[in-house]
Amino acid sequence: MKKTVFILGPIVALAAVNAAHAQSSVTLYGLLDVGINYTNDAQTGRGTNGALNGRSLVNMTDGATRGYGSRWGLRGSEELGDGLSAIFTLENGFNPTNGALGQGGAMFGRQAYIGLKSDTYGTVMFGRQYDSQADFVSSYSPFIVAGLSGTTPGDVDGLGHTRRMNNAIKYVSHGYRGLSFGGTYSLGGKAGDFTGSQAWALGANYEAGNFSVGAGYFNARDPNLSSFGVNPNSGGATVSNMGSVGSLTTAQSNPIYAGYASARTLEIYSAGASYKVGKATLAASFSHTAFDNLGDLTAGPNPFGYHGTAVFNTATATVSYAATPAFLIGGGYTYTHGGGAVGNGSATYNQGIVSLQYFFSKRTEVYLYGVYQTASGTDSLGQPTVANIDLMTPSSTNHQFVGRVGIVQRF
């Protein structure tokens, strides 16, 4: 009898383990993206005469410039019955060229959330996440052919997924006859001020055959804190998390909108559409970004004394062509015009993109792209506008070219 119990005990235990595995799962995933860039002009600082200095630059960087961004993550789910599952995602961003953490040193800076998924009602998630506006519209922008380097200058409309929402509640629907939609709300967490530093976003998408269209809206109070200042190394209202004026020995950052940190509200409206024609996909998008009510020192500094509203309007066109199942060709054009802040002029940015991708397998690809940008007018730092391809060091002149060759490995 004892022998029978000894034999059946492990069998029953093994059956219980197998049943548990059938109801829940945890997946380890990630990718590494490393490439070498050539930039024709990158700022090195400012001369004693006030003029910006720049030099050509060759460097190796993480693939955030391609749009992937090196990462590893854990994704899990547990079946709870009646079509309901508990889910979670923890996603870390890092730089494979030196091993440093991304997103300002956050352990899981790309995403960190828990939620419930219903086969009938959709999914609700809680934690650090991307906003719904970017989720539903970014696929219609040049982001899809050259990653962040192909987005709006400075990713001013957020379609490059460069910013996250902390303390966020997010809902994503199932598809209903081609229609899907969602929304995200980030609690500001300010005592006595429910709307202070809050952010929210809405998005929707509709697909019918070869045609697809999407639209979104984003709103952030105190954007210097609630949208640009959400990483561990971010500062408070006395510093700009949106960029810097540089120094004699350091380059500027985000001169496109760095001077607008005192905005009380950031609003973004965006829409896009795409159509597949044979092996080609044509796409177009439009976005309207407004830094409202400049001069609020509780949100951020205002060293240039701006007030009113700074507005950026962007139009893009993109084409992707699958020459073979393994070889993709892409191109895009972006036009951005900004202005409107009282005390500041206007600026215009034109940007062209060409990219090539070759897939050795589903996991491994190599790519090559080139981005060229020209700028004119006066930027947010009150200087003659300098070119600034996203995530790259700004140019010291009104034009900039970046070429990159890289390799991606997924797991």
Domain ranges of the chain: 26-410
Residues of the chain with pLDDT under 70: 1-22, 64-67, 148
For residues 15 and 12, what is the distance between their CA atoms, to the nearest angstrom?
5
Structure tokens at 278: 């044979």
CA dihedral angle for residue 62, residue 65, residue 68, residue 74, rounded to 10 degrees? 50
Check residue 319 and give its pLDDT: 95
Q: Would you say 285 and 140 are in contact if contact means Cβ atoms under 8 Å apart?
A: yes
- Cβ-proximal residues to 241 (8 Å cutoff; 6+ apart), any chain: 224, 225, 228, 229, 234, 235, 261, 300
- Give the three-state DSSP class for 147: helix
DSSP 214-253: EEEEEEEESHHHHTS--STT---TTS-SS-B---SSS--B
- Determine the pLDDT at residue 99: 93
82: left (phi over 0), alpha (psi -120 to 50) or beta: left
pTM here is 0.91
Pair 193, 222: CB distance under 8 Å: no
Q: 26-410: which CATH topology?
A: Porin (2.40.160)
**DSSP character string of 89-144:** EEEEEB-TTT--BSGGG-TT-SEEEEEEEETTTEEEEEEEE--HHHHHHGGGSTHH
Burial label, 19 (beta-carbon count in 10 A; 0-12, 13-18, 19+): exposed
Tally of helices (H runs) and strands (E runs) in the chain = 4, 17
Q: Which of 110, 108, 28, 105 is nearest to 63 (CA)?
A: 110
Decide if 113 contacts 128 (C-beta within 8 A).
yes
Residues forming a β-bridge with 30: 72
| Phi (first) and psi of residue 66, to 5 degrees | -90, -25
Check if the beta carbon of residue 52 is closer than 8 Å to that of residue 46. yes
CA angle 63, 151, 65 (to 5 degrees): 10
